[in-house]
Chains A and B, each alone.
Chain A
Amino acid sequence: MHKRKGKWLMENKWFTISVYSENNVGLLNRISGIFLKRHINIESLNVSKSEIDDVSKFTIVVNTTEKWVHNIVGQIEKQIEVIKAFYHTDDETIYQESALFKIASGLLFDERQIQNIIKDNNAQIVTVSRDFFVIAKSGRRNEVDEMHDQLKPYGIMQFVRSGRISVTKDVMEISAILKEF
């Protein structure tokens, strides 16, 4: 849509797209193809079960204009196996990511500061073995990034961060929608 009626801002923003769908082979391909066709990069993607039995939930994060996110959500919702799709801005959702840090065990004893970093960041040690220990951290992207920056000087053996997961402040009436079909 063009902006003549001034309804949507044409600047790029972060949007979280939530898709409730059947759990079928090939649907991920169908959904990701909608982004591919429009040359839009998916910043993060998470697929999980939802609050309703047998209904899957995709959580997709994109940085684009509202015009495009509206268009994309329309195209996603049109797919046969999609029950409903929504988009929200960051301030309309509660969201976070999870990260795991694998660090050499010796550092836990040699570098006292590491214990402070874990405490200060509200992170948890999930396992300790002879050679390495693993820290789990959940939070917003910048919080995970900050912790990463603090640990980096000591040496991180492995690092991984999950896609965003989010719930909306608004009510999601999927059960009611399901009854309408």
Chain B
Amino acid sequence: METVKEKKTNIDAKKALQISGAEALIHCLLAEGVETMYGYPGGAIMPVYDELYKFQDKLTHILTRHEQGATHAAQGYARVSGKVGVAIATSGPGATNLVTGLADAQIDSTPMVCITGQVTRELLGTDAFQETDIIGISTPVTKWNYQITEASEIPEIMAKAFYIAKSGRPGPVLIDITKNAQIEKFEFSYKKCTGVRSYKPVPKPDMSAIEAAADLINNAKKPFIVWGQGVILGQAENELKQLVEKAGIPAAWTIMGVSALDSDHPLNVGMVGMHGNYAPNLMTNECDVLLAIGMRFDDRVTGRLTDYATQAKVIHFEIDPAEINKNVHADVAVLGNSKETLGLLLPLIKENKHEAWHNIFKEKYQIEFDTIINDDIHPTKPGLTMGEVIEEINLASNNNAVIVSDVGQHQMIACRYAKFSQTKSNITSGGLGTMGFALPAAIGAKMGAMDREVVAIIGDGGYQMTIQELGVIFQHKVPVKIVVLNNDHLGMVRQWQELFFEKRYASTVMVNPDFVKIAEGYSIEAKRISERKDLKSTIQEMIASKEPYFLEVKVEQEDNVFPMIPSGASVSEIRLK
């Protein structure tokens, strides 16, 4: 039996082991391998920032200039590194400013953990200063969210947050922590989460489905692959390549999946979707077996669903059961992680070469090259095109750059013409179409892959939505290359107005500031070019630079992106002009 004195000593020892919720949170982040996080302080999160100050040698916090920037930076970081991106903000407006990034990460399956401060537990529901129901607000745009109201919950909930964010189909998780929980002390211990009772992240592959898929593929005369980001998230790049080569199947990509297979691979037949390539869109409605791998049949990919690949047997490789039969009926659904399922499929696949079928893609490509591509990347008209800028970046970077694009015409051009030789290299806002994504995402991408060249391609519209993040590039000397393709318009909306609204250019003309001066205000080396003779040398100079670099390219004001499948049309109705 312990004596009174011993008892007191034991209690004192226990107290000595106790740490605050805020400090515990930092230990959780460190235990999860977090090295860099993005955020913005404020009243309800100050105890955590006080700990960040103490731990700054172990954990880098990057102060973005707006909380939205923090989420996109975390997304860019996550997408190049495959790690979980972390963003942190205060309650109220700090929390609501995260919503766009959460929605973007949710629809593009990006692993992210967002931490928000919240008013102290006693004040919940009293409309206290900077109180907002961020759990209610973020519910539809998070994979999971949770409000911590006492410090002792922190270790278990943070472990669960990271586990949920990165497992299965990744996604964003928001953890809201009341201020009292940040301050209270408790005895800290941490155990990584390895499972949640009601959550099955990766379905077990069903061998009979894989055999049925192999049977369809082996007997196909005109098989066609469309792959998406699921290949990258599942780290199945190698398996995809083996499948394409062994079965001799022409393969096309969604913009979320592009860099999973070398752009110059002979069986890579380009991009599907609204502004994708001519051949893969047309051939979607000619193939006899359509293999959809890690993609979700977004409407921008399928066009009018009732006329999408109706002639084909559809095989859907997918990790998320809710995607099966959501938009397109799957004749064979293969659930599971793409690396695992493709790995099981490969030994069952017979070697084949579908040369005649592949030749049709080449013929259609030639048509597109002659009518569109050649003029885009080797123009003869005086004004600069977006396409030739991308082509010069390919040449200067040896197809090795990480390309971070914003949303609009330049995004479609960047995805169409940028060439990739490494996976995780195309960072763009695919599902949500978030203008303002690229600048902060490029900052995160560079910090997540310091050895890679990171080039942000941004329009003059989107650039001004998050332009304040130049402050981060300035303060932390983040050596990203920023290319603004300036047509002095909101180009994609203007294109639609031209084609479908009889050229009524409602609010799409931009009177822009001097972007070079703005960049110079942040001490970023900056140049503007408007003539072809300066293009190659300036881009070479930009890529060669070891510092942040801003380049504004004045491009043709009223160029359109083609091919185009008009909204609501079938993939067969793709227009070349």
Contact = CB atoms under 8 A, between A and B. Distances in A.
B200 interface: yes
B139 A26 contact: yes
A61 interface: no
Nearest to A21: B198
Interface string A71-106: 100110110111100000000000000000000000
A181 B195 CA distance: 8
Contact of B198 (A29, A75, A80): A80
A4 interface: yes
B321 A78 contact: yes
Contacts of A77: 321-322
Contacts of A5: 329
Nearest to B164: A80
B180 to A, nearest CB: 17
B143 interface: yes
Contacts of B568: none
Given A74-B321, A178-B197, A1 B145 contact: no
B52 interface: no
Interface in B324-351: 324-329
Contacts of B325: 1, 70
A26 B135 contact: yes
B146 to A, nearest CB: 8
Contacts of A70: 325
A22 interface: yes
Interface residues of A, number: 27
A169 interface: no
A33 B310 CA distance: 32
Nearest to B305: A2
B508 to A, nearest CB: 29
B199 interface: yes
Contacts of A80: 143-144, 164, 196, 198-199
Interface in A130-157: none
B136 interface: yes
B198 A2 contact: no
A37 B141 CA distance: 11
Given A74-B322, A75-B322, A4 B200 contact: no
Contacts of A78: 320-322
Nearest to A26: B135
Contacts of A37: 140
A25 B147 CA distance: 9
B197 A22 contact: yes
Interface string A32-57: 01001100000000000000000000
B362 to A, nearest CB: 30
A71 B326 contact: yes
A88 B143 CA distance: 26
A178 B199 CA distance: 10
A82 B135 contact: no
Interface in B257-296: none
B473 to A, nearest CB: 36
A4 B197 contact: no
A7 interface: yes
B329 A4 contact: yes
Contacts of B147: 25-26
Given A2-B329, A29-B136, A181 B200 contact: yes
Contacts of A25: 147
A5 B306 CA distance: 10
A7 B164 CA distance: 34
A13 interface: no
18 contacts: A1-B326, A1-B328, A1-B329, A2-B329, A4-B310, A25-B147, A26-B145, A29-B136, A29-B139, A33-B140, A37-B140, A70-B325, A74-B321, A74-B324, A78-B321, A82-B198, A83-B197, A181-B199
Given A25-B147, A37-B140, A74-B326, 17 more contacts: A22-B198, A26-B135, A26-B139, A26-B146, A26-B147, A29-B136, A29-B139, A36-B140, A70-B325, A77-B321, A78-B322, A80-B143, A80-B196, A83-B197, A83-B198, A181-B195, A181-B198
Interface of B: 135-136, 139-140, 143-147, 164, 195-200, 305-306, 308, 310, 320-329
